[in-house]
Structure 1
Amino acid sequence: MRLVALALALLATGPAPSALQAQDLDCSNPLTQVEMTGCAAQAFEAADADLNLAYRMARDMARSLDQGLPADQIPAEIILRDAQRAWIPYRDQACEAESLLARGGSLQNQLFYMCLERLTRARTEDLRLFGEVN
């Protein structure tokens, strides 16, 4: 519910991140708050794409760990899936809380996206390490 409110706030404060991307933002030198927020959103979207690749790699590793698994044990693939499903709402809520440092201000959305990117990159590294274990 809070994320819905945040999404509505994003809409009220300026163009949606996808609209900002269409404007070809210069994220090496954003000049306005809208540009900074758009660049933070783009950075998160890139981090999320990396996360999805790392998750697939980790899932493949989990499947290989499950080969020959006794029937009374929970497959690693299911444990990994459930962990990822639990992590996503944790990340979103943690970033919502962190963004409250600028509640109601134009910086709030930028803080939210910056947090999403940071936590997503950290999770990506965790998944990469799991996926590389051999």
Structure 2
Amino acid sequence: MQLRKVLFSVGCSAATVVSFSEIAIAINYNTFSGFLTAQQPNCSKPITDRELRICSQLHYDRENSKLNRVYNQLQQQLPNNRKQQLIESQKLWIAFRDAHCDFRRSRVAGGTADPIIYYGCLAQLTKLRASELTGYTQNQIPVPISPNLEIPDRKLNQIYQQLMGKIEPKYQDKLRLVHRAWIPFRDANCEFESSQAGTSREFCRVRMTEQQGDRLTELGEMFF
């Protein structure tokens, strides 16, 4: 989705805050990054499955480090009430990210492509989240395409129902988890954004619903 960007003036007071633990932002298991770095192949041209697995994990680790940096930078700009909103939004984003990537890998679970797809998905969503938070630090908010929530919400529901109708029952519960994790993340993030940027919650929900529709469309194309 090509989104134009508009600059919103945001008044943020400086405050001394306690940094949200990077462990909570990062994925909740050890990545053995030091071990992987020591054995790092040429990730510009990975060939074997082993090289692809290592490079995909290293790529995710780099994106996660960038996210942690921009998250801490944004947090330092916020007063305490908005800091708590950001923390809640980030926790819910983690739950959504994990559910989304668990569904994305489900058709190859246990196979050689499993970690490649999984870490690739984590890296993709983490990069997008870092870009979103960077926009908040720079007072730049993407503009949605649709004029109101009804249009992307109807489209998202159609895409969701079509995908549910095509996938096997064993995958349907995972897709439901994705949708159930995304809704509270969207609402919490829009609560933060509206207080941070002075935009309406509707403005944010339209944009995020458009983005989720694109993600589900991509999932459908990958599955079929």
If the length of structure 1 is used for normalisation, what is the TM-score?
0.75
Structure 1 residue 36 corresponds to structure 2 residue 42: no
Matched residue, 2:222: none
> Cα deviations across residues 81-124 of structure 1 (Å, max 9, x unaligned)?
11001111211121111011312210011100000000000000
> Cα deviations across residues 57-87 of structure 1 (Å, max 9, x unaligned)?
2212323xx5xxxxxxxx1110001100111
Q: Determine the C-alpha separation between the residues in 2 that align with 1:102 and 1:52.
A: 29
Contact preservation (8 Å) 2:75, 2:83: yes
Q: Determine the C-alpha separation between the residues in 2 that align with 1:109 and 1:28.
A: 18
Distance 1:18 1:111, change over 3 A: farther
Structure 1 residue 24 corresponds to structure 2 residue 40: yes
Residue ranges of structure 1 left out of the alignment (5+ in a row): 1-6, 11-15, 67-74
Q: Determine the C-alpha separation between the residues in 2 that align with 1:17 and 1:114.
A: 16
Matched residue, 1:72: none
Contact preservation (8 Å) 1:25, 1:39: yes
Structure 1 residue 47 corresponds to structure 2 residue 53: no
Contact preservation (8 Å) 1:61, 1:130: no
Shift in Å at residue 34 of structure 1?
1.2
Residue ranges of structure 2 left out of the alignment (5+ in a row): 1-28, 140-196, 198-224
Q: Determine the C-alpha separation between the residues in 1 that align with 2:118 and 2:34.
A: 16
Q: Determine the C-alpha separation between the residues in 2 that align with 1:105 and 1:24.
A: 22
Shift in Å at residue 30 of structure 1?
1.1
2:116 to 83, 97, 110: 110
Contact preservation (8 Å) 1:17, 1:42: yes
Shift in Å at residue 17 of structure 1?
5.4
Within 5 A, what are the aligned runs for 1:1-134? 18-63=34-79, 75-133=81-139
Shift in Å at residue 27 of structure 1?
0.3
Question: Considering only aligned residues, what root-mean-square deviation do their CA atoms show, in Å?
Answer: 2.0
Shift in Å at residue 18 of structure 1?
4.2
Contact preservation (8 Å) 1:20, 1:35: no
Contact preservation (8 Å) 1:62, 1:80: no
Instruction: List, as ranges, runs of 4+ consecutive aligned residues in structure 1 with deviation greater than 4 Å.
Output: none
